Structure 1
Amino acid sequence: MNNASTELKHFMSGLRKRNPGEAEFHQAVEEVAMSLMPFILDHEKYYKARILERLTEPDRIIIFRVCWEDDLGNLRVNRGYRVQFSNCIGPYKGGLRFHPSVSLSILKFLGFEQIFKNSLTTLPLGGGKGGANFNPKGKSDREVMRFCQSFMTELTRHIGADIDIPAGDIGVGAREIGYLYGQFKRLNNRHTGAITGKGFDYGGSLMRPEATGYGCVYMMREALSHEGDDLENKSCLVSGSGNVAQFCAEKLIQLGARVLTMSDSGGTIYDPDGINEDKLMWIKELKNSRRGRIVEYAKQFPSAEYLEGKRPWAIPANLAFPCATQNEIEADDAKALISNSCRAVCEGANMPSTKEAIDLLQAAKVTFVPGKAANAGGVAVSGLEMTQNSMRIHWSAEEVDQRLLGIMQNIHRKCVKYGNDGDYIDYVKGANVAAFSKIADTMLAYGVI
């Protein structure tokens, strides 16, 4: 173990030197490397081939200027990115994020995580990520359209159905995907599966909006079932109120759980009576149509309390589903969850828990399922969308949902196989080792490239 600790320290020192100032990327890599290093040292072929070192260096990074004109005729300039991390087991696959916080560090952390997430799905997909420091909030539809068209004019030369397939992420929903794909089709004169998350009428898949949230709940159900339990009547904390959080809450309600919270960047609503289907529909209309703030829920439903500037993790509940953004569960939040006897945490967002929080939760034997396993449902259905595009067919919602369920069950089996430490399933270790094994063996087969 000392050897593994020494190797990890040496590896991370080199990574930080090569990637200075990229805190999110360092965090994502260290979380993976901690659980992988003993496994790599036990398999000399992976160590000698420097698989982990090669995996943490992207195949290429594309950075470009995005010029567009606002409604007042002012010229605006943003920075666009595409990080093509690894196409080892398939074409690059990962979302586009439009948000002021977008930086190279964040996109590299997301792209690195995507390699492992995509491997777990068993679909032939590599890992990548992209986006821009553009904020769609407060922009008119025509401003968003002009930005998306300018962004795609550059990106189009780097993507394609067999090369790199972007999708949506934070700030890139149905509206943005439509504009992006329209410009791709205009420039290439081809109707292909080069972007996923498309509208159903022009090549999208049923169940894609629901996939990440539903998949997260399916994973939690599998984890509870493995322990001889289920979701019925479990009280649940859900953070966020965007796409993932909405459909996570929806599936929890359908399966008999009680959703107590949702949130946005302003604060959290806590409804001790539970957020039922009617209340959730109201939240969807608030967020998707009116683009309002979650504080309005407390004004609409007197049973609810609004916790301004607060996260939901101090509220007593059985289960927690962080579905908002990275690092939203910190050490103090983990202590609150443990103090309140929270049974399990299942990550709907990408890296929503800090390393310190994960260590505390696992030490307390709280079941902890990381995002690379729990939120793989989104990219899984994106892969199914690509298959439907290639076959020129549409599957029914029931067919897609059953395939999604099967994929999540398979991911759970892999996590248990590689993460079973006797009296506790280490889902972090299980997910990392299961994904890495497939990628590493493929890289060995290719030789040194």
Structure 2
Amino acid sequence: MNVRLYSKLLRPAFSITTAVNGFRLQKHLYSTQKDVSSFERKEFPLSSEAKTQIGSLLDTLYKRNFGQPEFLEAVYEVLGSLIPVFAKEPRYIQMFEKIIEPERQIIFRVPWVDDNGIQRVNRGFRVQMSSTLGPYKGGLRFHPTVNLSVIKFLAFEQTFKNSLTTLMMGAGKGGSDFDPKGKSDGEVMRFCQSFMTELYRYIGPDTDVPAGDINVGAREIGYLFGQYKRLANQFNGVLTGKDLGWGGSMIRPEATGYGCVYFAKNYLQYKNMDFKGKVCIVSGSGNVAQYTVEKLLDFGAIPVTMSDSNGYIYEPNGFTREGLQFVMDLKNVKRGRLVEYLNYSSTAKFFENEKPWSVPGDFAFPSATQNEIDHEDAEMLVKNKVQGVFEGANMPSTSEAIEVYKQHSMMFGPGKAANAGGVAVSGLEMAQNSQRQQWPREEVDEKLSCIMRDIFSMSLSASQKFGLGDDVQSGANIAGFIRVADGMIQQGAV
């Protein structure tokens, strides 16, 4: 039998499943199980009944999600933050048990034909995590590292992030292990059309509204929307991140990067500081990093690094607006590699296969991908006297790195709060689509700024209410969780 045909037969047409994504038996996966003692805190004593409930929850969590380290890490991080809540109000433990189990997990085959006429097969995912606060909402990611664990972790994080915006949005996430890099426009179009041919059954403006994420930009959203419209025979707000000409919102491409800097600005104001003349280390070179750099320049900061998967650029005097525009054209139009920036700048240096965290600076903005800052990187940031870390990416800091931040009293803006600007403006795009209107750029930007200010205030207030001081990370988890949990209690056992 033809090998490619045989590999296709091994993929189910689709499945709705709670099974783990294979059995990856690497040694480190066995160390991810934790018991209740890992989370206990002397200042927040748990009742014996609460300990039993949490212990049972942890056992079930590990058994159901064995081999999914990204998802387990995300759940453990949030659980640690919620111990003060469970100590005070044990009734919320049952709600956490519900929140960590997705409402629906969809896995499907994505067949497509490359430019040589050869049939290819990828795997598609959509995890519909929570509809308590509104339709499922969250991006699509196309990247070779995508698997069920990654998508579940992102959907779980999305639950709290969307809650913090206070907009009427549930949470979901999706994507595929397809890699658009090196593919022609025709190949990307055919893949997107095949992906949507299955996904369209599960989405809709009042059901599930996907958006973009890593490697899913304006081009991919266009292809996906076109195929949805063809299949459903409807023109509606089923996707966000659309082009301005057919239902998109002003500020949507900029929203995550701008929002992260707005969040950081509010944190700095709370500490009686500002960005003027501050050196900022930025990772990534996609939309989030680009618009983080742009807004930092607006506030008088000096962003000195950007990166991609091949290494990072160090611009000792800081990126200029012209230099940033070169990067935007390079990445968004030419789809080139960041090392080509050396053709533009005579002062820049490129460090191959290295991360930018060894560069001295005042603030760090990890804006590339999950787990890009580990314990060693965090120690390097401390050594270089970095005062704060604000996450533009989803969970870019490992739990060990976060412990380093806290031990050294660094300002820390967790991704679910600091990068919520993207989904916030997606929510505003949904509102505009419902009204068949498009709001002015200034109006959307002002709403975004206010949302990020309120997210910081809510996170800080929740932290202080539960005796955690200025622990904004824990406060964001608590504030986001309580809003969802209260909705679950009111809506019953569904």
Deviations 1:8-36 (A, max 9, x none): 56543331111010000001111100011
Letter in 2 for 1:130: G
Deviations 1:123-163 (A, max 9, x none): 01001000111011111111111111111011101000000
Q: Answer yes or no: is the 8 Å Cα contact 1:213–1:245 preserved in 2.
A: yes
Corresponding residue of 1:325: 369
Corresponding residue of 2:4: none
1:268 aligns to 2:312 (yes or no): yes
Deviations 1:48-69 (A, max 9, x none): xx11111000001011111111
Deviations 1:297-352 (A, max 9, x none): 13431211111111111111000000000000100110011111111100000000
Give the SS at the match of 2:253.
helix
Take 1:230 and 1:363, find their aligned partners in 2: how far apart are those partners? Answer: 23
Corresponding residue of 1:163: 207
Q: For structure 1, list consecutive stretches of 5 or more residues without a partner in the other structure.
A: none
Deviations 1:70-116 (A, max 9, x none): 11111111111100000011000000011111000000000000000
Q: Answer yes or no: is the 8 Å Cα contact 1:365–1:424 preserved in 2.
A: no
Matching residue within 264, 267, 290 for 1:223: 267
Corresponding residue of 1:308: 352
Give the SS at the match of 1:351.
coil
Take 1:169 and 1:130, find their aligned partners in 2: how far apart are those partners? Answer: 9
1:34 aligns to 2:80 (yes or no): yes
Matching residue within 470, 474, 479 for 1:425: 470
Take 1:114 and 1:227, find their aligned partners in 2: how far apart are those partners? Answer: 28
Letter in 2 for 1:29: V
Matching residue within 438, 442, 449 for 1:394: 438
Corresponding residue of 2:23: none
1:280 aligns to 2:280 (yes or no): no
Shift of 1:290: 1.0
Corresponding residue of 1:71: 115
Take 2:143 and 2:107, find their aligned partners in 1: how far apart are those partners? Answer: 16
- Report the CA distance shift for 1:422/1:115 in structure 2 as closer, same or farther (over 3 A): closer
1:80 aligns to 2:150 (yes or no): no
Give the SS at the match of 1:193.
coil
> Greater CA deviation, 207-216 or 413-422?
413-422
Letter in 1 for 2:101: E
Take 1:194 and 1:289, find their aligned partners in 2: how far apart are those partners? Answer: 26
Take 2:77 and 2:468, find their aligned partners in 1: how far apart are those partners? Answer: 22
1:193 aligns to 2:237 (yes or no): yes
Letter in 1 for 2:485: A
Corresponding residue of 1:445: 490
Letter in 2 for 1:126: G
1:213 aligns to 2:257 (yes or no): yes
Identity of aligned residues (%): 54
Corresponding residue of 1:122: 166
1:259 aligns to 2:303 (yes or no): yes
Matching residue within 449, 453, 458 for 1:405: 449
Corresponding residue of 1:380: 424
Shift of 1:423: 9.4
Shift of 1:447: 1.4
Give the SS at the match of 2:166.
coil
TM-score by length of 1: 0.97
Corresponding residue of 2:183: 139
Corresponding residue of 2:143: 99
Deviations 1:373-405 (A, max 9, x none): 000000000000000000000001111000000
Corresponding residue of 1:297: 341
Deviations 1:390-421 (A, max 9, x none): 00000011110000001001101101101238
Letter in 2 for 1:355: S
Matching residue within 30, 53, 59 for 1:13: 59
Take 2:401 and 2:57, find their aligned partners in 1: how far apart are those partners? Answer: 23
Count matched residues.
447
Give the SS at the match of 2:215.
coil
> Greater CA deviation, 11-20 or 108-117?
11-20
Letter in 1 for 2:441: A
Structure 1 segments of 4 or more deviating over 4 A?
2-10, 421-424
Matching residue within 381, 394, 404 for 1:360: 404
Shift of 1:248: 0.3
Letter in 2 for 1:196: T
Q: Answer yes or no: is the 8 Å Cα contact 1:369–1:428 preserved in 2.
A: yes
Corresponding residue of 2:248: 204
Take 2:341 and 2:51, find their aligned partners in 1: how far apart are those partners? Answer: 51
Give the SS at the match of 2:248.
coil
Letter in 1 for 2:197: T
Letter in 1 for 2:86: I
Letter in 1 for 2:222: G
Shift of 1:188: 1.0
Corresponding residue of 1:436: 481
- Report the CA distance shift for 1:6/1:334 in structure 2 as closer, same or farther (over 3 A): farther
Give the CA RMSD over aligned residues.
Answer: 1.4
Q: For structure 2, list consecutive stretches of 5 or more residues without a partner in the other structure.
A: 1-40
Shift of 1:278: 0.6
> Greater CA deviation, 204-213 or 417-426?
417-426
- Report the CA distance shift for 1:119/1:422 in structure 2 as closer, same or farther (over 3 A): closer
Take 1:139 and 1:153, find their aligned partners in 2: how far apart are those partners? Answer: 20
Q: Answer yes or no: is the 8 Å Cα contact 1:12–1:30 preserved in 2.
A: no
Take 1:88 and 1:15, find their aligned partners in 2: how far apart are those partners? Answer: 21
- Report the CA distance shift for 1:406/1:157 in structure 2 as closer, same or farther (over 3 A): same
> Greater CA deviation, 33-42 or 182-191?
33-42
Give the SS at the match of 1:209.
coil
TM-score by length of 2: 0.89
